[in-house]
Amino acid sequence: MRRAIELARTALGQTSPNPVVGCVILDPDGVPVGEGFHRGAGHMHAETEALASAGARARGATAVLTLEPCAHHGRTGPCADALLAAGIGRVVYAVPDPNPAAAGGAERLRAAGVPVRSGVLRAEAERGNELWLTAVRRARLCVTWKFGGSLDGRSAAPDGTSRWITGPAARRDAHALRAAHDAVLVGSGTLAADDPQLGLRHGVAGRAPLRVVLDRGGAIRSDARVLDDAAPTLVAIAKGADRPRIPRRHEVLELPSADGALDLRALTDELYARGLRSVLLEGGARLAASFAARGLLDRVVGYLAPLLLGSAARPVLDDFGASALADGQRFQLDDVRRLDEDVRLTLRATPLPGEPA
C-alpha cells in the first residue's frame, strides 16, 4: 500500500478533476507483478495501467489501491469491471470514494464474489490525496494558505524588504507545494509590491498551476510578470470594472463584489466548476484574512525562519474580525519538519461532521 501511495503522489497537481490514485498488483505469492497510477483526466486509471503492466499474471492476483475502484462510466469504463475482467482474486483499498457518481466499486466486486478489504493505511492514503478528498467532501475548492515569516509572525521588515526571510530549502519546498495545487492565487497588493511570476522554479518539475490574480479594478499592467507564457493566468475583476488589456492566452473573469471586495465564494465556485480542486493562497496578509473571515481556509502551511522582526514589521495576517479567543480559528497541527534552519508547519482545519479526523 505504501508503494501505491508513493505512485499516486507522482501525479499531484496533474489529475483534476480526478483524484490521484496508485495501484500495485501482487501475485498469489505476494510478489509485485504490475503497478500504475492515474496520470490525468483522459488517461488510463491506475487500475487499468497496473493491469496492463501485469498482463496474464493479474489472474488470481491481489490489487492494492489507494482509493476504492470506481463504478461509473466516464472517459474510461468502470475500474471495478476491469478488475473483474482481468480475473483479479482479491482487492485491498485504503479510502472509500466520496464521490457519489463514482462510488460503489467495492460492492460490485463483492457481489461478483471477489473478497474486498478496505481501510488499509487509510490515514496515509488520505494525506496523499488530501486536496481532492477535501474538495469533493466539501463540494468546493480546497484552499491552502502558504506563508513565510519570522518567529513573531512577520512577512517583511519595517522597510518592506522580504527577500529572503526563509532559506533555499524552504523556498524549494514551497515551489513543490505550488506544483501540487491546481491554481495559485494572489491579490492586487502582492502584484503591485512584488510583481510575482508564480511559475515553478528551484528545480521543481511538473505542470505549473493556473495563476489567478484578484484585481478588482482591472489595474494590472500589461507587462506584469504573471502575464508571461509560463502558465495560463486568470485575472478576476469586479463586474462593471474596466477590462484590462492582457495577452489573449490569458483570461479575464468578472465576479460580483460587495463592500469593495470581490466575492471569494463566487471565485472558488467558479474554479471548482471548471474542474479545479485546489488553490494555494500566496497573496498578502489582507487576502489571507479575507479567506479566513469567510471560513474558507482548509489548510495552512507556514515556513518559519529563526528571526525576530518586531511589531513595526509587516504581519503575515491582517485582522479578520477575531476580538476574543473564542472568535479565533483553531487548526489541527499535522506535521512539523525542519528545512535546514527553517521549520515548516502543516495544519488542517477541524474536520466537518462525517469527515475523518
Which active-site residues does the annotation give?
A: 47
- Integer Cα distance of 278 and 141 in angstroms: 5
Number of H helices, E strands in the chain: 10, 18
pLDDT at 352: 63
pLDDT score for 357: 65
CATH number at 132-349: 3.40.430.10
Task: Quote the pLDDT of residue 251.
Answer: 94
**pLDDT tens for the 357 residues of the chain, in order:** 999 999 999 999 899 999 999 999 999 999 999 999 999 887 889 999 999 999 999 999 999 999 999 987 666 678 999 999 999 999 999 999 998 888 899 999 999 999 999 999 999 999 999 999 999 999 999 999 999 999 999 988 888 777 788 999 999 999 999 999 999 999 988 888 888 898 888 778 778 899 999 999 888 998 899 999 989 999 999 998 989 989 889 999 999 988 888 999 999 999 999 999 999 999 788 999 999 999 999 999 999 999 998 888 889 899 888 888 988 889 999 999 999 999 999 999 987 656 776
What confidence score (pLDDT) does residue 314 get?
86
202 Ramachandran zone, left/alpha/beta (phi>0; psi -120 to 50): left
Under CATH, which number does the domain 2-128 receive? 3.40.140.10
CA 280 – CA 186 distance, rounded (Å):
9
- Looking at residue 354, its pLDDT comes to 60
pLDDT value of residue 323: 86
Q: In the chain, what are the domain boundaries?
A: 2-128, 132-349
What 3-state DSSP class applies to 275?
coil
Residue-by-residue DSSP string for 68-102: PPP-S-SSS--HHHHHHHTT--EEEEEE----TTT
Instruction: Report the DSSP pairing between strands 90-95 and 142-149.
Output: unpaired
Give the C-alpha separation, 138 to 288, whole Å.
20
Domains 2-128 and 132-349 fall in the same CATH topology: no
